[in-house]
Amino acid sequence: MDSQLPIKQSFTKESLKKKFRLSEFLAEKIISSIAFLSIAIIFLIFIFVFKESLPLFSLGSDAKAKTEAQATTANKPESYGASSEELKPEVYGAETTEDLKPESYGAETTQELKPETYGSETAANDDLKPESYGDTPKEDLSVAPADEMMNEASQNQEGSDKTWSTFFSTEWVPVSDNPRFGLMGLLIGTLKVTIIAMLIAGPLAVLAALFTSCFASKRVKEIIKPIIEMLAAFPSVVIGFFALMVLASFFQDVFGYDSRLNAFIGGVAMALAAIPIIYTISEDALASVPKTYTEASLALGASKWQTAFFVVLPAATPGIFAALLLGVGRVFGETMIALMATGNAALLSANPFESVRTFAATIGSEMAETVFGETHYSVLFFIGSLLFIFSFALNAVAEFYVKGKLLKKFQGK
Partner 1 sequence: MKDIKIKVNDLSLYYGEKKALNEITMDIPANKVTALIGPSGCGKSTFLRCINRMNDLISNVSITGQMLVEGVDIYDKNVDVVNIRKKIGMVFQKSNPFPKSIYENIAYGPRINGINNKAELDEIVEKSLRQAAIWDELKDRLEDSALGLSGGQQQRLCIGRTLAVSPDIILMDEPASALDPISTSKIEELIHELKEQYTIIIVTHNMQQAARTSDHTAFFYMGNLIEMGKTNSIFTKPMQKQTEDYITGRFG
Residue 104: C-alpha distances to residues 99, 110, 123, 404 (Å) = 9, 8, 16, 52
CB of 278 to partner 1, least distance (A): 22
Q: Applying CB under 8 A, which residues contact partner 1?
A: 217-218, 290, 292-303, 306, 310-311, 314-315, 410-413
The answer to whether 184 and 169 are in contact (CB under 8 A) is yes
Residue 211: C-alpha distances to residues 152, 199, 206, 315 (Å) = 58, 18, 9, 15
Q: Which is nearer to partner 1, 392 or 410 (CB)?
A: 410
CB of 208 to partner 1, least distance (A): 22
CB of 326 to partner 1, least distance (A): 23
The answer to whether 327 and 274 are in contact (CB under 8 A) is yes
Q: Which is nearer to partner 1, 18 or 218 (CB)?
A: 218
The answer to whether 321 and 398 are in contact (CB under 8 A) is yes
Q: Which is nearer to partner 1, 156 or 294 (CB)?
A: 294
Q: Which is nearer to partner 1, 167 or 321 (CB)?
A: 321
> Can you point out the beta strands (E) in 172-247?
172-173, 180-181
CB of 290 to partner 1, least distance (A): 7
Complete DSSP assignment for 262-331: -HHHHHHHHHHHHHHHHHHHHHHHHHTS-HHHHHHHHHTT--HHHHIIIIIHHHTHHHHHHHHHHHHHHH
Q: Which is nearer to partner 1, 109 or 306 (CB)?
A: 306
Q: Which is nearer to partner 1, 77 or 290 (CB)?
A: 290
Radius of gyration in angstroms for the set of CA atoms belonging to the chain, rounded to a whole number? 30
CB of 312 to partner 1, least distance (A): 10
Beta bridge partners of 173: 180
CB of 1 to partner 1, least distance (A): 49
Please give the Cα distance from 358 to 386 (Å, whole number). Answer: 12
